[in-house]
Amino acid sequence: MPPVYTPTAIPTDRLTRFSEAIGRVIPDAMSTAVGMLLALGVAALAIGNPGAAVMDAFYRGLWMLLPFTMQMALILLLSSTLGAAPVFRRAVAWVSRLPHTRGQVFATSCLVVACLAYLYWGLAIALGPLVSIYFAREAEKKEIEVDFPFLLATTSAAGSVWQFGLSASAPLLMNTPGHFLEKQTGLMPLSTTIWAPATFVFLGTFFIAVIVAARFLHPRHPQPLSQFPDALRLAEPLLVIAEAEPIAHGAPRPTLSGRVERSSIPVAILVAALAAWVYYHFAVKHLGLDLNSLNTVLFGLALLVHRNVSNFNRALQHAILSCWPIVVMYHLYGGVAGLLQFTTLGSTIGGLLATVSTRHTLPFFTALISTVVACFVPSSGGQWVIQGYVTVTAATAVGATAQQGLLALSIGDQMGNLLTPFWAAVGAGIARIDFRRFIGYQFAYAAIWFVLGVLVFTLAF
């Protein structure tokens, strides 16, 4: 049963009271997505699209993201499976014992989550809450005052770097042959998006800003991890996904299927085949990083750390629970995308954006609009599917590059992710805490992210 949200009874400062107020009014992600469908449907009718055309556009979009949905579900599923391996839990527990001051707790935990996020966003989602739990537990043992909900919000903010990391959904999608905007933009090399110099400048600046902000925003009356017993129990060794027990001496002779499941040979063969495909993809065909190649690497790593099919299946059974927000929601996003792409609504909005923008103000307006859209569509890849056509159209009209529009959209997308409950609820479910306990703290980090991002991608890109 998920934890029930009740406002804290201890004296609070203004930021904590603000966080609690936000938690009382934010609805769930599906309700907001349905609201956006309704709003865009009415807007499409209002500008002259026939009712039948609007319904057809909705239906065409509803199921057009089936491959993309499976790709994104696998990202989260395989990341959670990888994160369930004892080797990862032990590593996080070891690092959590290093800090000796509150500043070191925040700096080290944020660095760990940021590195995970840059490598793969699913790792940050799956392991980020556990990182916060382990660090909060060690801090409490050392009598270091750390507010657990605030730490959870801060590490979540540090994980925002995934927007420009190796698993950035929209840039990878635009570098994948056959993507939905290939006729308009062609393929976008990663050197022009997530590996552009301005992107690295932004990432470094933002990380430093998060650590500095945490120093000044930390609540005066901290709530330690021990006040959240459900979360505290996750740090216990028994909560790590158990490995298959070895066959005890004198036990009944295992069946053939049991021996195969516990053998490392099937996993070794599959990992070798996946490694050969990765070599062929990069070294022989000279193709770039995309969603499929990244999932292939993650699949191989997850198999490798669990060593046999039995261990891997045990981890999968728990990890599958982390995928529930994606499986259905992405098709609602597809319906929204269909209304924009298959009616005149998308072109109309793109024209309006171009009218009020110039080459230098496009990043601000794109980020602002994508923040609003992200409140309904808390998915970078899903949002780019919805807003990409509008962004590319507007960028072309004002003489900007599609890459600049994509990066600005990523700024707004992550701001929306920090403001809305979709991903906060996923992380809160992993940490076994109500998301309303900490989502309000994320608003401060969202403001920092937005201001720095707009400045960098306007002035330095």
Q: Per-residue pLDDT for 248 more than 70?
A: no
Q: Greater confidence, 255 or 365?
A: 365
Please give the share of the chain, as a percent, with pLDDT higher than 90. Answer: 39
Which of 406, 415, 399, 398 is CA-nearest to residue 450? 415
Cα–Cα dist 119/418, whole Å: 20
**What pLDDT score does 322 carry?**
67
How does residue 356 score in pLDDT terms, banded at 50, 70 and 90?
Answer: confident
pLDDT digits (tens, 9 = 90+) for 20-43: 676 666 666 677 778 878 988 999
Q: Per-residue pLDDT for 379 more than 70?
A: no
The single-letter code of the amino acid at 326 is I
Give start and end residues of each alpha helix (H) in 63-120: 66-83, 86-96, 102-119
Q: Per-residue pLDDT for 374 more than 80?
A: no
Q: Greater confidence, 347 or 457?
A: 457
Contact assessment for residue 383 and residue 370, using Cβ atoms and an 8 Å cutoff: yes
Which residues make Cβ contacts (< 8 Å) with residue 327, sequence separation at least 6?
69, 73
Q: Per-residue pLDDT for 6 more than 50?
A: no
Cα–Cα dist 343/49, whole Å: 7
Q: Name the token pair of 400.
A: 């900007």
Cα–Cα dist 74/292, whole Å: 10
Poorest-pLDDT segment among 63-72, 225-234, 445-454: 63-72
* Average pLDDT over every residue of 53-73: 86
Cα–Cα dist 160/203, whole Å: 9
**What pLDDT score does 353 carry?**
73
**What pLDDT score does 250 carry?**
52
Cα–Cα dist 379/377, whole Å: 6
Strands (E), 350-391: none
Q: Per-residue pLDDT for 3 more than 70?
A: no
Contact assessment for residue 88 and residue 82, using Cβ atoms and an 8 Å cutoff: yes
* Average pLDDT over every residue of 141-164: 96
Q: Greater confidence, 258 or 369?
A: 369
Contact assessment for residue 421 and residue 439, using Cβ atoms and an 8 Å cutoff: yes
**What pLDDT score does 4 carry?**
44
For the chain, give the mean pLDDT: 84
The single-letter code of the amino acid at 86 is P
How does residue 253 score in pLDDT terms, banded at 50, 70 and 90?
Answer: low
Which residues make Cβ contacts (< 8 Å) with residue 418, sequence separation at least 6?
156, 157, 160, 442, 443, 445, 446, 449
The single-letter code of the amino acid at 316 is L
**What pLDDT score does 76 carry?**
77
Q: Greater confidence, 311 or 138?
A: 138
Cα–Cα dist 214/222, whole Å: 13
* Average pLDDT over every residue of 246-265: 70
How does residue 213 score in pLDDT terms, banded at 50, 70 and 90?
Answer: very high
**What pLDDT score does 450 carry?**
97
Poorest-pLDDT segment among 245-254, 379-388, 437-446: 245-254
Q: Greater confidence, 19 or 259?
A: 259
CA 292 to each of CA 108, 126, 311: distance values in angstroms, whole numbers, following the listed order: 31, 20, 24
Q: Name the token pair of 50.
A: 């026939």
Q: Name the token pair of 353.
A: 């954006």
Contact assessment for residue 370 and residue 409, using Cβ atoms and an 8 Å cutoff: yes
* Phi, psi dihedral angles at 304 (to 5 degrees): -65, -45
Q: Name the token pair of 342.
A: 């298959």
pLDDT digits (tens, 9 = 90+) for 432-458: 888 888 988 999 999 999 999 999 999
- What is the 8-class DSSP label of residue 87? H
CA 41 to each of CA 57, 445, 446: distance values in angstroms, whole numbers, following the listed order: 10, 33, 29
**What pLDDT score does 293 carry?**
86
